[in-house]
Amino acid sequence: KEHGETKTDIVTITNHILMQQQQHAGATGDLSIVINAVTASCKWISNCVRKAELMNVIGLTGGKNVQQESVQKLDILSNEIMINMLKSSGRTAVLVSEEDDQAIFVEDNQRGHYCLAFDPLDGSSNIDCGVSIGTIFGIYHVLDTERKGELKDILRSGKDMVAAGYCITLDPNIGEFLLTHPKMRIGKKKIYSVNEGNAHTFDPAVKSYVHSLKFPPPNFEGKFTPYSARYVGSMVSDVHRTLLYGGVFMYPGGKLRMLYECFPMALIIEAAGGKASNGRQRMLDLLPPSIHARSGIFLGNKEEVEKIEELYRKLD
């Protein structure tokens, strides 16, 4: 295409999923239906976020969620959208949401074989200043299709997930999610992303690693090339940038939740050739002790995460 011409040979998420599905003999189409329900929810949520001010739904409800953080109305609306769309897909069994303290077990008449853990609107404390926020989700298949869904169907390590994703935005002109990077590989830029205001709580390994990025030894020409710092404070944005540009995203100390923040992002980063760890173990190997369990996380370029793991081995 000449510069400026409209590109029309696009692949929508629906096309992409159908094409993938056709490559798996015996696929029932159930996972496609689940992903379709997530896609539809994300379209609806992104529409609500855009219209938030008009709809007058921005503002604190005064309620607190399970982790005692302020809940905004858009979180609740997004949560209801996700839950209702997933239930009505008829393909889900157990749902875990950041906004609900208990797991939701889908009624017999709507039950299917997939379990989803999701944060319906992550980064929502950033809504008012227009920062990109979004939905994060991880999908598991039930362990046994002969019985009702149970907690153990979703309280599993990240490597058991069949798919994961996050959503930031869609093309508002055609109202579709488009395939932009067919074989996504993590970028190579030297960027670090962490809330350094928490530096006093960092483990010695993390302190030492961050220091080494800011004060690198001079190269052979005597030049210093420190890493750039970028931190939005919205996980979807920070991980999205890490995926596209490269570098390392860190949330040491364990604010982020394993099932619906750490695991899905870890799966995505690994699929793109990167690495995700809690500093001592591969993120996807960890077993969450409870549905809202938290973990420290380091994800990004392999060599960066390996440097952190090496420092943990040395300084632990």
Residue 234 is a binding residue for ligand AHM (CB under 6 A) = yes
Q: What is the DSSP string of 101-167?
A: SS-EE--GGGEEEEEEEEEEEETGGGGGGT---EEEEEEEE-S-TTS---GGGTSS-GGG-SEEEEE
- Rounded to 5 degrees, what angle do the CA atoms 60, 99, 167 make? 95
Work out how close the CB of 124 gets to Mg ion at its nearest, in angstroms, rounded to a whole number: 5
Closest-CA residue to 236 (of 131, 113, 308) = 131
Residue 63 is a binding residue for ligand AHM (CB under 6 A) = no
Residue 310 is a binding residue for ligand AHM (CB under 6 A) = no
Where does residue 247 fall: left (phi above 0), alpha (psi -120 to 50 degrees), or beta otherwise? Answer: left
Q: Which stretch binds ligand AHM (CB under 6 A): 78-86, 116-124, 148-156, 266-274?
A: 116-124
Identify the residue among 13, 78, 117, 119 touching ligand AHM (CB under 6 A). 119
User: Which residue bears the tokens 């604010």?
Assistant: 255
**In whole angstroms, what is the distance from residue 151 CA to residue 287 CA?**
13
Identify the residue among 124, 242, 277, 295 touching ligand AHM (CB under 6 A). 124
**Number of residues this chain uses to bind ligand AHM (CB under 6 A):** 14
Q: Which is nearer to Mg ion, 98 or 309 (CB)?
A: 98
Q: Which stretch binds ligand AHM (CB under 6 A): 4-12, 106-114, 212-220, 227-235?
A: 227-235
Cβ-proximal residues to 210 (8 Å cutoff; 6+ apart), any chain: 192, 194, 196, 199, 202
Cβ contact 300:275 at 8 Å: yes
Residue 165 is a binding residue for ligand AHM (CB under 6 A) = no
User: Which residue bears the tokens 């529409």?
Assistant: 47
Residue 122 is a binding residue for ligand AHM (CB under 6 A) = yes
Two tokens, residue 127: 């809504």
Identify the residue among 81, 117, 235, 286 touching ligand AHM (CB under 6 A). 235
Q: Which stretch binds ligand AHM (CB under 6 A): 5-13, 123-131, 156-164, 217-225?
A: 123-131
* Number of residues in the chain: 316
Residue 233 is a binding residue for ligand AHM (CB under 6 A) = yes
User: Which residue bears the tokens 């599905």?
Assistant: 21
Work out how close the CB of 74 gets to Mg ion at its nearest, in angstroms, rounded to a whole number: 10
Residue 135 is a binding residue for ligand AHM (CB under 6 A) = no
Q: What does the binding site for Mg ion look like in residue numbers (CB under 5 A)?
A: 98, 119, 122
The site string for ligand AHM over 67-96 (x = CB under 6 A, - otherwise) reads: --x---------------------------
3-class DSSP state of 249: strand
Residue 233 contact partner, candidates ligand AHM, Mg ion, none, CB within 5 to 8 A by sort of partner = ligand AHM
3-class DSSP state of 174: coil
Query: How many CB atoms sit inside 10 A of residue 298's CB?
Result: 27
Which residues would be at the binding site for ligand AHM (CB under 6 A)?
69, 98, 119, 122-125, 195, 233-235, 238, 251, 255
